[in-house]
Structure 1
């Protein structure tokens, strides 16, 4: 038995006329009749009663037609699903994200993916440090990572999404809060709140580096895993924090954000995925992500080169 036998029988069963069924199938009537007889012979049952004036389904034919319709519809659906998946407009996508981008870029990205690729099921894991995202990429727990560089692991490719300037988050009543901007040297005597260190946070390492360049070691009072907790502790007056500017999207009362000079200080955000994952869905998702970045930069009046991919 082949699918064509089921398609032939469905046409005859629905038309109840061999001539009309043959026209519908674009074949001659005699071969159609022969194929139906072969199907009945293989099943060992009579599916149709034929007279010179009419064609009727037997009870067995009625039952077989219902199953035939379900099978053929399922086959057609499977083919359409495969084509949509191959085109990258259907499937599943899990995105991991660092803290600051969790509150700024990630909501826009998920909304844009929903509008552009409505049949893609998107799930997110926010507040992930870079090493955790790399591990999640390798195990398949996430498909796309939004993290801070460097990304030097074999088998992982990345492209720059944007560069974020650095801000200082201070308690609103801090003695420096009335300044227009601050430098790293201004923070020499301050207590710092940073993301978990020991090589687990790009931002923690960056804070240590820029303070060392300014001639001192930061006085770290608290280490936290989540950006929201970091800003909450700043609001509580436990210290100050150096953060990427999207962190300001966390509008927590009692915190003031000031630009940190020089203006060249900043940190990149990159999108990374497993090199072997070159699916159409990943290509489509990265295209949506890049379009958001272009829109953001164009609104600020700056130009943006196409992202560079580096292994």
Structure 2
């Protein structure tokens, strides 16, 4: 039976055309090398080399066999190198899901950082994903890292807080409230609103209903949108105001202005989530990049996590 060692031995002899030099190259004695080459020729039932006291030469069969042997050995070596790259997180595939507001503020810098630090990793981005859809995708293995808004109530999913985003109000540039430097939640009483899809069951939708309830009223939601870009476009069309995380302001849509919402403590966390078990080296390396890019120059306090 022909084994890889036979191919390696034959390649050395064929390239050196000298058993002594080939044996030195392989760090073995010459007699066992000669025996292995004869065994290979018996297995193939063909002469690969002509030998004399003065020289070693390839036969026509040996010349053809050498080309195939080199291709096989190089392929085996390449497979080993690739396996090691994947095993250490240097090469592979990564799918990242991202909630709408973070799509514009995080993804451009994150993709550039991943490209620079993990150039052999193919990165697939799924932006404008609502949190429930992201969590379903993580459970199914379709998304490796999910950037979303909490809560994450699933023991199978590990998460950690990356940062807290202040809430702001997106409003038509010509709206009367646009003349104010800041807005209070009570200023939204009676205003037409554009909300996140889900009739209050989305993360942002639920938050809006909660903070309005604390102020003693219910928001007047006239329109809903699943994508943040669509929501802001509806605001630009004059269909209502919207309460959004501050990074949404990165989405520069003509006719829309943004004002901070008071008190400044009103905010929502951005977390990164992945499966609790079986994280690949690629995911672990990418997670370190995500932490650094998203947290930026935040203080050194340890954020919440279920890790």
TM-score category, normalised to shorter length: over 0.9
Match of residue 300 from structure 2:
304
Is the CA contact 2:161–2:270 (under 8 Å) kept in the aligned structure 1?
yes
Residue deviations 1:220-260 (CA, integer Å, cap 9, x gap): 00011100010011111110000000000001111110000
Aligned structure 1 segments of 4 or more residues deviating by more than 4 angstroms: none
Match of residue 209 from structure 1:
210
Unaligned ranges ≥5, structure 2: none
How many angstroms apart in 2 are the aligned matches of 1:165 and 1:310?
23
Match of residue 99 from structure 2:
98
Q: Report deviation, 1:292.
A: 1.3
What is the number of equivalent residue pairs in this alignment?
A: 306
Q: Report deviation, 1:199.
A: 6.0
How many angstroms apart in 1 are the aligned matches of 2:132 and 2:223?
20
Residue deviations 1:168-219 (CA, integer Å, cap 9, x gap): 0010000110101001001001111011014652001111111111100100
SS state at 2:146 partner? strand
How many angstroms apart in 2 are the aligned matches of 1:37 and 1:47?
9
How many angstroms apart in 2 are the aligned matches of 1:150 and 1:38?
67
Match of residue 255 from structure 2:
254
Q: Report deviation, 1:158.
A: 0.3
Is the CA contact 1:294–1:304 (under 8 Å) kept in the aligned structure 2?
no
Distance 1:86 1:199, change over 3 A: farther
**Which runs of structure 2 are paired with 1:9-48 in the superposition (5 Å)?**
9-48=10-49
Q: Give the TM-score taking structure 2 as reference length.
A: 0.97
Match of residue 198 from structure 2:
197
Residue deviations 1:30-68 (CA, integer Å, cap 9, x gap): 111010001111111111111111111111111111111
Match of residue 287 from structure 2:
286
How many angstroms apart in 2 are the aligned matches of 1:83 and 1:215?
60
Match of residue 6 from structure 1:
7
Q: Give the TM-score taking structure 1 as reference length.
A: 0.96
Is the CA contact 1:129–1:200 (under 8 Å) kept in the aligned structure 2?
no
Distance 1:75 1:129, change over 3 A: same
Distance 1:31 1:200, change over 3 A: farther
Distance 1:48 1:308, change over 3 A: farther
